[in-house]
Structure 1
Amino acid sequence: MCENKRTQSDLRTGLALPVERCNYLHRYLVRRLPKVMHRDSRRAHYAVAALIAARPRAARAAEAERAESSQDTPSWFTRPNLGASLAAAVNASILKSDSAEGDLHLFARQSSDALHPRLPALTRHLLSGGIAVDWAVLLEDLSWWDRDRDRVVTRWLESYFRTLGDEDDDAPAPDDTTAR
């Protein structure tokens, strides 16, 4: 849908807004979504559509290039979530580790009403730095946010620490006797 400038502009107007204030998005999304959806799921669809429309031009080109060169789709469980994307940004020196980890811990305490307004700036920062965001995974996570936030945040934190480079790891190694 974002190939048309007007459509892209209309979709961007929904950034960080609840569904009830996304008047221009209804035209594009209502027919593509089920009539009956949980409130969180509907909001997640609107939010991700707006985030995709708001991608910087370079990020759109990079995503298109990745899609053309990708031959096999990774398993759903190995696809990067927001925690992995934040760690990749730290590894690429786009974000500081304290800032990325602080964001994750802050998200853990927030409702979707508080989280959604933070996502546009965060995803724009990641995308501008060349860090990919898996929109389908983000959509799924946001759909469950208010009903299962602890599970989602735990996955994000686990992915963050698994993906984070070794130089940022202050934790003792498993064979380190000082940890006992």
Structure 2
Amino acid sequence: GGARESAGGGRAQAAGLLASAPVLHGRTVELVVASPMRRTLETARIAFASQHTRPLFVAHPDAQETGTHPSDTGSDADVLGREFGEFDLSMCADGWYVKASPYDSRTRERHAAGCDALRARLERLGAWLLARSEKSIALVAHHGVFAHLVGVEMELSNCEVLESTLDAGGW
């Protein structure tokens, strides 16, 4: 029961996102970039389904979860493509979800190589977003990704909306 109830609750949160997030009122999101994990792809699909103009949907592997716990890894693009055909999955090469973690999921001990890899991944994501022509972009990702992007550990609810401006100096 618990997982199914959580999934149903998450779907309801995603479905109400455009109406419940004041920062999105009256704004048309041109590009939805999502971590290529099922939970974020599904959230993005549901959250922006009611927008009057359909945005471009792109799955970006650099937006994936920060850890290596089995629940924080993804699936091959061909598998995801069968379920999420509206997403451009072209950046998700074979094994896109194999990564070095910045910490041990059991002990929470930090790993320098994993921290460096995460920093490089998020810098690539920021540069890619900055190079896009769209002016209104939604990034559907994970708590750890947002905490590292803004450089502050924060409490976030599921389907919480943060507004940020990206420029050459960062977030």
Give the TM-score of the pair, scaled to structure 2. 0.30
Give the TM-score of the pair, scaled to structure 1. 0.29
Task: Name whichever structure is richer in helix by fraction.
Answer: 1
